[in-house]
Structure 1
Amino acid sequence: MYGLKELKGCIKIDKESVECPVKDCSLIVERQHKSFKREQKYQCPKHKIFISPTTFEYETEQENLLWYDSADKYLYNEIKKVKRESRIARDNSEDALTWNVMRFLDRQGLLTDFLSKLSNKKINEAELILWSYSPKEKSDWTLLNKARIEFGETIKHGSEPDIIIRTDKVLYFIEAKLTTKNETTPPNPQEKKKYETGDNNMFQQIFKSDYETIAIKKKRYELLRFWLLGSWIAKQLDIDFEFYSLVKQSCEREIKGDFAKHRIETAKRKFSRMTWEQIYNYIKTLTNNKEKQKMTDYFENKIIGYSSNNTIIKAFNI
C-alpha cells in the first residue's frame, strides 16, 4: 500500500504522459483523459498501478485493504454479493477507508467502547453491518429491506448506508465521505416513491421541510433517505437512532446545522457530524499492539491523490 512515505511529493505531467508516483520510479505511462480506465497503457509495469494525473488504482482490491485474513476475506466476499458499487482498489476510495477503519474496531472488539464514548451511553452489544450486509443473518439486513419496501424502494436498488451498527440501545447509521460531499439529488425528481407517505406519513413527524426543498433544492437527498429509513428501523426496534456524517475534519463543518433546518430531532433521534480524525484520536489512546500501529500508520500515511498543480494531498489533519 502506497502513501506519503512511498510516493513522490510532486509528479511530472504533460499533455501526453504521467510519471509513476512511486518514489525512485522513472517510468511514465500514457495520460488518461476524462473517465478513469484500467488499461495496460496506463499501468506502471513495475508497480502494477493504473495511473491518472490525480489518482491511481491498485491492480487488485486486496492491495488497498489492511485486513484480509481468511475471516476478512470471507466477510468481504459475502458483502460484495449485496454491495452495489465498489471502487475499492482506487487510492482515494471511501469504501477502502471504511473497511480498514471499521474492521479494525470490529476485529479488536472496540465497537462498544468507541460507541459508548461517542454517545455517552453504555453500549453492551454491537453488530457491524457494512453496506447492508448482516453477518448474523448472512445476507442483506432484513430490517433494512423492510424499510426500503415501506418507503417505496426496491431491495435491489434501495438505499445503502455505508455503515450500520445495531446495538442494544442505539441504532447507528454512519455515512462515510472522503473526497465527496453530502450533496445529492434524486435521479428522477418527479419520482418520490413513498418517502412522504410511508408508515402513515412518518415523513411529517421527522422533517420540518418538504421533500422538494430537502432533496432537490438543498441537495440533501441521501441524508433525507437515511434519516427516514433509520428512524423507521429504530422505531421497530424500540431503540434510539443516531445518524452521523463521517467526514474529514476540514470538510463540511456546517453540515449538522444545515441539515438541522430540515429535520426534527428528539431525545431518541439525533444527527451529528463525526470526523475521521476523531476516530484516529480514539485509536491513539489504545494500548499499543501491532494492529494499532498498523492502523495509526495508515491514517498518518494516507493520501487522497494529487492536486491540479501535481502535488500530493495528505488525507487527514493529523
Structure 2
Amino acid sequence: MTAKGLNLDKSKGSLSDYLCPKHQIYISPSTFEYQEPTTSLLWPEDKEKAIQISQKGKRTWSRMGRERDEDSLVWNVFRYLERNGLLNKFLEEYLDKSGITMIARLGALEKIVYWSVDIEIMDIWEKLSKARENLGENPSYGSEPDNTSSL
C-alpha cells in the first residue's frame, strides 16, 4: 500500500481483496487496519464514549485502528490508569524518576482531557480554547497539543 497507489484512505470497497473475513482486518504486506476502528480500544464499553469524545475534538479519527495508531495506545494506557485510580500515582512516580519535582506544586489531578475534550462537559477544554485563540488558530481547525503543561 502506497500513498500514490492503493492505500487505506481509498474506499473500503476497493480494498475488499485485502480484508480478512475471519478477523475483519485489512491487511497488506506493509500495513494493517481494523475494519471497525474502535477494535483497537481495549474496553468495549468505552467505544461509544471514545467516539463521542473524538467527534468533539479529534480531527484524525480516520487513522484510528491502524498500525502505529498512537491515539488508541494513549487512550488504552491512560484509560487503564484512570479506571484503576492509578493516574496520580503514575504521574508522581514518573515525575519523581524524571527528576521533576513539580508534582508537589501541582497537587491532585483535576481532570482528564482526551483529544482536547474536557469529558465533564464534552467540549474543547476551556484553557486549550483560550490558548488557541491567543495563538490565532481557527477554532474548528485548532492543533491538538501533545503537552499542555504550558497552558
Correspondence for 1:46 among 9, 17, 22:
22
| Residue identity matched to 1:80 | S
Helix, strand or coil at the partner of 1:127: coil
Matched residue type, 1:129: V
1:150-161 to structure 2, matched below 5 A, reads 150-161=134-145
Judging by fraction of residues, say which structure has more strand: 1
Q: What residue ranges of structure 1 are gaps of 5+ in the alignment?
A: 1-31, 163-172, 174-225, 234-318
Q: Are the aligned partners of 2:41 and 2:75 in contact in 1 as well (CA < 8 Å)?
A: yes
Q: For residues 150-183 of structure 1, what are the alpha-carbon distances to aligned partners after superposition, in whole Å with 9 as ceiling and x for unaligned?
A: 1111111112124xxxxxxxxxx2xxxxxxxxxx
Structure 1 residues 33 and 73, CA, compared in 2 at 3 Å: closer, same or farther?
Answer: closer
| Contact kept in structure 2, 1:64 and 1:91, CA below 8 Å | no
Could you say which structure has the larger radius of gyration? 1
**Counterpart for residue 147 of structure 1:** 131
Once the two structures are TM-superposed, the CA of residue 33 in structure 1 deviates from its matched residue by 4.1
Offset of residue 119 of structure 1: 2.4
Change (3 A) 1:143 1:42: same
**Alignment counterpart, residue 130 of structure 1, candidates 94, 97, 114:** 114
1:83 aligns with 2:58: yes
What is the alpha-carbon distance in structure 1 between the residues aligned to residue 47 and residue 27 of structure 2? 26
In the TM superposition, what is the alpha-carbon distance from 1:88 to its structure 2 partner?
A: 1.2
* C-alpha displacement of 1:77: 2.2
Structure 2 residue runs of 5 or longer lacking an equivalent are: 97-102
- RMSD of the alignment, in Å? 1.9
Instruction: Number of aligned residue pairs: give it.
Output: 134
User: Equivalent of 2:84, from 96, 105, 108?
Assistant: 108
Percent of aligned positions that are identical? 40
In structure 2, how many angstroms separate the alpha carbons of the residues matched to 1:126 and 1:107? 15
Residues 1:145 and 1:42: Cα distance change in structure 2 (over 3 Å)? same
Q: Which amino acid aligns with 1:79?
A: I
| Cα distance change on mapping 1:58 and 1:74 into 2, 3 Å | closer
Q: What secondary structure does 2:44 align onto?
A: coil
Q: Distance in 2 between matches of 1:68 and 1:134?
A: 21
Superimposed CA distance per residue, residues 77-121 of structure 1 (whole angstroms, 9 cap, x where no aligned partner):
221212111211113211111111111111111111111112233
